A and B are shown apart, each in its own frame.
Chain A
Amino acid sequence: MPPLKAATDPGWVSTLMIELIANNVLLLFLAIVAVAVVRVRQLLVSVMLFGIYSLLSAAIFVVMLAADVAFTEAAVGAGIATVLMLAALARLPGEKEEARARGQFWPLVLVVATGALLIYGTIDMPGFGKADNVAHRGVAMQYVERAPKETGIPNMVTSILASYRGLDTLGEVLVIFTAGLGVLLVLGGVHTKIASPLRPDAVGIRDGERRG
């Protein structure tokens, strides 16, 4: 049996090729899972599939050289977002999506038309992974060249996030803080007695900490 060509000739399947294949296959999976998330009527299954969807997108971020983003997406999407949705489902006992035939046709027409227009718009976009992409010129180039020297921090994502775009990040942190405040106002404070749905025999969080 002759040895496989890939084993003898390292140029046959280059790293680039593998990256491209992994990227494309993962994106295909992502589209399939997204369709499944939408089609399934049981909300619990839908939420669990959405967790898988998030983990797959985290894998895609790794392939696309965004380690920091992948980190966050894996912890947030597959971890916290799924747990929050499950906790919300636990507070909606017996909730089920009703199967209704009403109004499925026109949304489909609208979505297909919009999608076709958007795809037409991408034809002029610079190709995926091309180094001469306009997005890589200008300020991004300056960041790559100067950020490690000016801040002495090897991770460019951190230095841009905290230093160059510090004001932007402050705004984002304020949005997170405000969202927490909003959840506190919507859910907290109104109910006097609470117990955990995750542990039905629990006595509940200290009542003294909640007004009511």
Chain B
Amino acid sequence: MTDYLILRVTAKFLIPIILLMGLYVQFHGELGPGGGFQAGVIFSAGLILYALVFGLDRLSDAVPIVALKVLSSVGVLLFAGTGMISVIVGGEFLDYNLLAEDPVAGQHLGIFLVELGVGITVASTMLLIFTLFAAQNDHV
């Protein structure tokens, strides 16, 4: 699809905006609509658009499969780790009240970390699945 000039120019213009939108939805999700799940899918949709227009090998150069594999587990670990920290400081699993001096601040911190974990896992898993689907072996 690399021959289509209009597609390439439009995609080059759109992709940074989509990625920025993904980050905005991730970190602004507490105040407006948004959160980890939405941000993850928007972010991966931007990168999938990149792969569709410029070729999968260029995406794989930027984000190798190994990185996707690692990141998808990092997100889950960040989520579960946040839960474990609250156990270590003497609370129950995923009880964010004890993460800071003030319960409200603790909740804020906990929700931020958990949503970040969700976002990382969703984005990298979606991208991993797409990469595996689009990568095709020769003999088929």
Contact = CB atoms under 8 A, between A and B. Distances in A.
15 contacts: A68-B33, A71-B34, A79-B45, A157-B35, A163-B114, A170-B94, A173-B122, A177-B72, A180-B125, A183-B129, A187-B133, A188-B65, A193-B138, A198-B51, A209-B66
A154 B30 CA distance: 6
B128 interface: yes
Given A166-B114, A177-B75, A209-B64, 14 more contacts: A71-B42, A80-B41, A84-B133, A87-B133, A93-B140, A150-B104, A153-B107, A158-B34, A162-B35, A173-B76, A177-B72, A191-B137, A198-B51, A203-B57
Nearest to B51: A198
B45 A80 contact: yes
A162 B115 contact: yes
B93 to A, nearest CB: 7
Indicate the size class of the contact surface on chain B: 35 or more
A204 interface: yes
B41 A173 contact: no
Interface string A174-212: 101101100110011001111111110011111001100
A163 B38 contact: no
Nearest to B21: A75
B90 interface: no
Interface residues of A, number: 57
A205 B76 contact: no
B55 A80 contact: no
Q: What does DSSP make chain A's interface, helix, strand, loop or mixed?
A: helix
A11 interface: no
B122 to A, nearest CB: 6
Contacts of B88: none
A67 B28 CA distance: 14
